[in-house]
Each structure stands twice: as structure tokens, then as C-alpha cells.
Copies of this chain bind each other. A is one copy, B any other.
Amino acid sequence: MAKKGITVGIVGGTGYTGVELLRLLVQHPQCELRAITSRKEAGMGVAELFPNLRGRIGLKFSDPAKAELAACDLVFFATPNGVAMEQARALLNAGVRIIDVAADFRIKDVALWEQWYGVKHACPELVAEAVYGLPEIHRERIREARLVANPGCYPTAVQLGFLPLVEAGIVDIDRLIADAKSGVSGAGRKAEVHTLLAEASDNFKAYGVTGHRHLPEITQGLSAIAGRAIGLVFVPHLTPMIRGIHATLYARLTSKTDLQALYESRFAQETFVDVMPAGSHPDTRSVRGANSCRIAVHQPRGGDTVVVLSVIDNLVKGASGQAIQNMNIMFGFHESTGLEQLPLLP
């Protein structure tokens, strides 16, 4: 039976994943938000920073040092990378469960993580315990997890898109290509020149072709499914919109299958993955604000290349919505509780 309700804390709620967690938690019937911390904004009302929450949340940002996080059932880390690993041990010891929306516990190979993130890991021993929070793959382990590593935005769209192909073993896994496009909110709520409207609007560009931190995360996930190391070229692009990721995935088919049936069957029981009818082109706005991944699968001109189109809202299924989904699983709530919002169109 579902637990009646839980108390929740958020560490570092002043970014986009933070405000999105707030939007979803405020509308969640079984959560009581106890504390949201911010060193910089301590004392300021949350709704002062995020006026969309006016009238719906009375809470103020609290000093991390004074917040009673240890009394919560669950704490979300909506912090920059490197914060959760410093505080996780103490909270777990206090019996608090954790969902890290940042990247500290995503990569099992600690040396690899340190290489990509450029810092020494503060608690490598917890990395092994952490469960990678992609429910469509790890639902059962999430249920019991104390510590969930919430997936990155690109990794969610790319892994869900490739999943049926890799599981079925019908593509050349040495040469996968993921051409991914993201809205600028993926860069976070940080003062930077390159994501100013005057810079990023009416403009399109690739970035990180040489290497992006989400590459090892995707590779780890798909390799685990394949049973051996996969080869992936991953090219992210910045597109002039606020929310949304569109991943266009390419693979060479090594055997024949009914691709549409394969995808429909794989995700038939998944509330938050929607396989579109054959011939579809999902648009990112069709998932704007919703915890949904829409996927279409194509085999252009009957050739041996499969093209998968996978779209998510990077802040929802790609971050905070998936975190709520993980919370629902961890605490025995219905998986879609608090996640029923319909996308905004237009």
C-alpha cells in the first residue's frame, strides 16, 4: 500500500532543475516540501525569485547549514556537479534517501568520472551503491535504492531511443551516431555570454564535438545493455529555444525486423514513453512541460540505416520530472502521481 505522504528537501533550488522540481512538488499530493536551501539566496522567498510560484509556495530559501534536511524522508540535489558527493554520506547515515539530479553518481568507473568532471570524487564508495535512475531500465532496483543517480538530459533521450535496437541486437553497435539538439535551458540558469538571447537566438551551432560529459554516461548505459562496449559518436547542438531535446539517432541494421512493432512492444507498459505511429515526426513542443519521451522510428527508403527520432523536455523527463518519477517508484506511489500535466501547445 502506498505510504501516506513524505517530507522532502531540496538542496540548491535556484536553478532550472530546482524551479521545475518546485513546480512539480507543489502539485504533488503526497509530498510535503520542508526545506529548500541556497547559500546565496538564504532568506529570500522562493516566489520572489520564481514569480510563477507566487501564491502557491510560502517557503523561503534556507541556509544549507541550518536546514533540517536530516529530518526529511527524501532529499533532492539540484546542485552543480560536485555538491551531492560531499553531503550524501551524512544524509544516508541519517536515514534519508537521496536523488541526485546532478552527475556525481552516474558513472560507475570513478577514474573515468574524475577524468571527465575534472575533480576528485569525494565518496567513491557510494558510486557502486547508487542506482542509475532510468526507470524504463532499472525500475526494480530504483524501488529499493537509497541513492538514485538521476540521468542527464541527453542520456535520457538517446538511451531510450536506442534501447530497443540494442536490446534486440539488430544494429552495428560499434558505430552508433547520436545527433542531438537541445534548447538553451540545458545550459542552466547561469550568467554566461554564449546563452544570452542576443547570442543564441536566431542562431544554431554544434558544440563539444570533441567530447561531452554525456558521452561516457550514454556509452556506459548502452554498453551494459549490449553486454560489451559500444561505439558512439555524439554531437550535441544548441538550438534557439527554451526547452526540449531532439535526438536524431542513426544505426546500421544487421538483421531485418518490424521496427515499429519492436518499439511498440518494448514500451507498451511504459507510461512515459510514447511510440508514435509509423511515419511520424515528433516535435519537441509536444512534450513541453510534460514527463514524456516521444519516439518515432524510420527506415528511410528501405535502406539498412535506421533513424530514430526521440524527443523530451530536458527539464522534465530529462531532469526534474524523471526525478519525481523515481521518487514515486522509491516510495511506492503510483508512478504518474503529480506528473499528469499536459504539454502546453502552442
Contacts and interface: CB of A to CB of B under 8 A. Distances in A.
B53 A177 contact: no
A305 interface: yes
A326 to B, nearest CB: 21
Given A197-B196, A210-B301, A342 B204 contact: no
Contacts of A252: 175
Nearest to A27: B342
Interface in A298-346: 298, 300-301, 303, 305, 307, 309, 311, 340-346
A343 B52 contact: yes
Contacts of A19: 345-346
Interface in A176-221: 177, 179, 181, 183-185, 187, 189-193, 195-207, 209-211
A281 interface: yes
Nearest to A278: B210
A51 interface: yes
A231 B198 CA distance: 33
Nearest to A185: B198
Contacts of A197: 184, 195-197, 199-201, 240, 242
Nearest to A16: B346
Contact of A298 (B177, B210, B282, B301): B210
Contacts of A340: 27
Given A52-B344, A283-B51, A346-B16, A202 B205 contact: no
A23 interface: yes
Contact of A211 (B203, B243, B301): B301
A263 to B, nearest CB: 15
A192 B193 CA distance: 8
Given A206-B246, A243-B202, A307-B209, A53 B196 contact: no
Given A52-B290, A189-B346, A205-B246, 11 more contacts: A52-B286, A52-B343, A56-B342, A185-B198, A191-B193, A196-B197, A204-B241, A204-B311, A240-B240, A240-B241, A289-B289
Q: Range of interface residues on chain A? A: 35 or more
B241 A203 contact: yes
A55 interface: yes
A21 to B, nearest CB: 12
A116 to B, nearest CB: 12
Contact of A248 (B55, B179, B193, B345): B179
Contacts of A289: 289, 344
A237 interface: yes
A204 B181 contact: yes
Given A196-B196, A197-B197, A202 B285 contact: yes
A285 B211 CA distance: 23
Interface string A217-248: 00000000000000101110101111110101
